[in-house]
């Protein structure tokens, strides 16, 4: 397959050619684990997943690395505000690591439900402080830093191509009043408004929970350095693809490039930068830190299967803004249901048709009834759509076209079509093979399970009221054995799936 991707670096669609034949090094920015992922974040990870699945299906050996941010991400991406992890830990009366652990598990619970393939390597920022310090030392040695007010800063004026990714002008970034930095508290220590912190010491927060010794004093890293340090560790000093949402273009990814290239001197650090557009609500943007966001669980609570949401996301191209509404999600649910029914119809026909064809051959009639179809042309259409900057809406249309045209075809064509559909689904990730082999679309199953758990929670409350604690414990233990955890809180008992 000949992929072409829209590269933010250069703002053009470019044919994809990896640094090493048939191998792809891919880094996707992962979650900051101070809250659940919202459905907008999940859009970003579905995009990474479509990319990885497409490349693997085309025969590439993809090394997919994703970070977990558990330190250093402030409420504003450019060093202003509070530390997101510390703030949540204080609010909840927990340690930062407890918060990180809980939301990391919740994150993978969501991505598993969305049928998102797990990255090859998942790396936590707090496990890579040593690598961050050595990378900062290289940046410092090469003359790109200054130490003031207790923090070590990256001096963007020393890096002439700073801002190339985001098409920002270095001169503008040096003056705070002309940039987006003007809207946030300016750090008096910065020489240029766009400078950013590589290492904080006590000067920023007195109450920072996690601190490490460093050549610049006891402190903790800035947010951006973790992605440079971990991607270089696992993928080398130059690699193929880097992804994230469009919000990362002007600050986070711009800073990642500056740090990495300043340390290694190799340009370009990353060959292809792919950015997904935002998922927006009717009411506007969704934000993890400002609340008011929808989680995957909130869609499940409304009776949707996570794969309905996946179908909804695939129906929009990743570079187009997508507006979320429950009406559109209902539309996706209906389409997925009909897709599953049609594919199941093909499966039933092939099992029936197989027996009929065998009988026909036994009776020496020789020929099967029904028309034939050139299935490979549909696969080609699908491949073209995916090769063309991962055009999932067009790919879905190819799949539907095949489903429509295969009606009334003979057994062998139907069997080939079914195989082709499963093959297409190895990219789309709608779990079609598993779903059609089950009795339902998954939604009904979720509903039944939910009702069963809620019944058991009621029984457990009754058992406790009746002081039958062993019965109550048995209910909890039986559910735990099935991977379902009950949690008693001030607002009653809630449940969640056990984390992997």
Residues that bind ligand AMP (CB under 6 A): 29, 31-32, 40-41, 43-44, 244-245, 247-248, 276, 278-279, 286, 288
Q: Return the SS3 of 327.
A: helix
From the CB of 62, what's the least distance to Zn ion, in Å?
Answer: 18
Return d(Cα 139, Cα 45) in angstroms, integer.
30
Residue whose beta carbon is closest to ligand AMP: 245
- Residue 246 DSSP one-character state: G
Which CB atom, from 84 or from 333, has the smaller least distance to ligand AMP?
84
41 binds, among ligand AMP, Zn ion, none (CB under 5 to 8 A by kind): ligand AMP
Return d(Cα 59, Cα 62) in angstroms, integer.
9
Q: Is the dihedral of CA 229, 234, 239, 242 positive or negative?
A: negative
From the CB of 25, what's the least distance to ligand AMP, in Å?
Answer: 18
From the CB of 325, what's the least distance to ligand AMP, in Å?
Answer: 14
For residues 9 and 273, the answer to whether their CB atoms sit within 8 Å is yes
The token duo for 268 is 């370009």
Give CA angle at 229 (224, 232), nearest 5°: 125
Which CB atom, from 66 or from 486, has the smaller least distance to Zn ion?
66
443 binds, among ligand AMP, Zn ion, none (CB under 5 to 8 A by kind): none
| H-state helical runs in 58-164 | 84-92, 96-113, 129-141
* Residues at the contact surface with Zn ion, assessed by CB under 5 A: 29, 227
What are the residues whose beta carbons fall under 8 Å from the beta carbon of 22, sequence distance 6 or more?
Answer: 59, 60, 61
Return d(Cα 45, Cα 119) in angstroms, integer.
10
From the CB of 288, what's the least distance to ligand AMP, in Å?
Answer: 5
From the CB of 83, what's the least distance to ligand AMP, in Å?
Answer: 14
φ, ψ of residue 221 to 5 degrees: the values are: -80, 155
Q: Return the SS3 of 215.
A: coil
What is the helix (H) or strand (E) element at residue 478, kind and residue range? Answer: helix 469-481
Which CB atom, from 279 or from 343, has the smaller least distance to ligand AMP?
279
Which CB atom, from 43 or from 349, has the smaller least distance to Zn ion?
43
Give which of 32, 35, 30 is closest to 297, Cα–Cα. 35
Which CB atom, from 29 or from 432, has the smaller least distance to Zn ion?
29
Which CB atom, from 29 or from 71, has the smaller least distance to Zn ion?
29
Pairing of strands 239-245, 23-28: parallel
From the CB of 36, what's the least distance to Zn ion, in Å?
Answer: 19
Which CB atom, from 278 or from 495, has the smaller least distance to Zn ion?
278
Q: Return the SS3 of 220.
A: strand
Return d(Cα 429, Cα 50) in angstroms, integer.
8
From the CB of 137, what's the least distance to ligand AMP, in Å?
Answer: 26
φ, ψ of residue 12 to 5 degrees: the values are: -155, 160
Which CB atom, from 231 or from 435, has the smaller least distance to Zn ion?
231
From the CB of 244, what's the least distance to Zn ion, in Å?
Answer: 6
């Amino acid at each position: 397959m000949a992929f072409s991707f829209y590269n933010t670096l250069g703002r053009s669609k470019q044919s994809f050619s990896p640094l090493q034949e048939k191998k792809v090094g891919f880094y996707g920015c992962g979650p900051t684990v101070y809250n659940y992922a919202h459905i907008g974040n999940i859009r970003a990870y579905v995009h990474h997943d479509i990319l990885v699945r497409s490349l693997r299906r085309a025969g590439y050996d993809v090394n997919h690395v994703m970070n977990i941010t558990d330190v250093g991400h402030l409420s504003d991406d450019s060093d202003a505000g509070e530390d997101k992890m510390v703030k949540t830990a204080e609010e909840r009366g927990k340690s930062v690591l407890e918060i990180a652990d809980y939301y990391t598990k919740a994150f993978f619970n969501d991505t598993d439900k969305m049928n998102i393939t797990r990255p090859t390597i998942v790396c936590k920022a707090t496990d890579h402080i040593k690598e961050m310090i050595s990378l900062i030392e290289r940046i410092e040695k090469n003359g790109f830093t200054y130490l003031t007010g207790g923090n070590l800063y990256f001096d963007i004026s020393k890096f002439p191509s700073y801002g190339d990714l985001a098409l920002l002008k270095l001169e503008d970034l040096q003056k705070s009043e002309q940039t987006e930095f003007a809207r946030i508290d300016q750090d008096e220590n910065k020489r240029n408004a766009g400078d950013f912190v590589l290492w904080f010491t006590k000067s920023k927060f007195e109450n920072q929970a996690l601190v490490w010794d460093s050549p610049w004093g006891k402190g903790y890293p800035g947010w951006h350095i973790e992605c440079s340090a971990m991607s270089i560790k696992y993928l080398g000093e130059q690699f193929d693809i880097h992804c994230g949402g469009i919000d990362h273009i002007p600050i986070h990814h711009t800073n990642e490039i500056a740090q990495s290239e300043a340390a290694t001197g190799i340009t370009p650090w990353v060959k292809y930068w792919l950015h997904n557009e935002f998922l927006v609500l009717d009411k506007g943007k969704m934000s993890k830190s400002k609340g008011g966001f929808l989680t995957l669980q909130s869609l499940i609570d409304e009776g949707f299967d996570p794969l309905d949401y996946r179908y909804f996301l695939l129906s929009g191209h990743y570079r187009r803004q997508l507006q979320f509404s429950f009406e559109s999600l209902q539309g996706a649910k209906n389409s997925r249901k009909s897709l599953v029914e049609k594919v199941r119809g093909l499966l039933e026909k092939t099992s029936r048709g197989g027996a009929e064809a065998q009988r026909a051959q036994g009776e020496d009639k020789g020929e099967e009834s029904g028309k034939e179809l050139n299935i490979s042309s549909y696969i080609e259409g699908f491949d073209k759509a995916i090769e063309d900057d991962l055009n999932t809406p067009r790919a879905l249309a190819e799949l539907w076209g095949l489903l429509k045209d295969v009606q009334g075809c003979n057994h062998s064509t139907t069997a080939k079509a079914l195989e082709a559909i499963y093959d297409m689904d190895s990219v789309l990730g709608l779990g079609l093979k598993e779903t059609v082999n089950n009795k339902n679309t998954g939604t009904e199953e979720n509903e039944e399970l939910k009702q069963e758990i809620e019944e058991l929670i009621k029984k457990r409350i009754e058992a406790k009221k009746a002081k039958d604690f062993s019965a109550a414990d048995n209910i909890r233990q039986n559910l735990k054995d099935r991977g379902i955890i009950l949690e008693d809180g001030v607002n009653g008992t809630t449940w969640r799936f056990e984390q992997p």
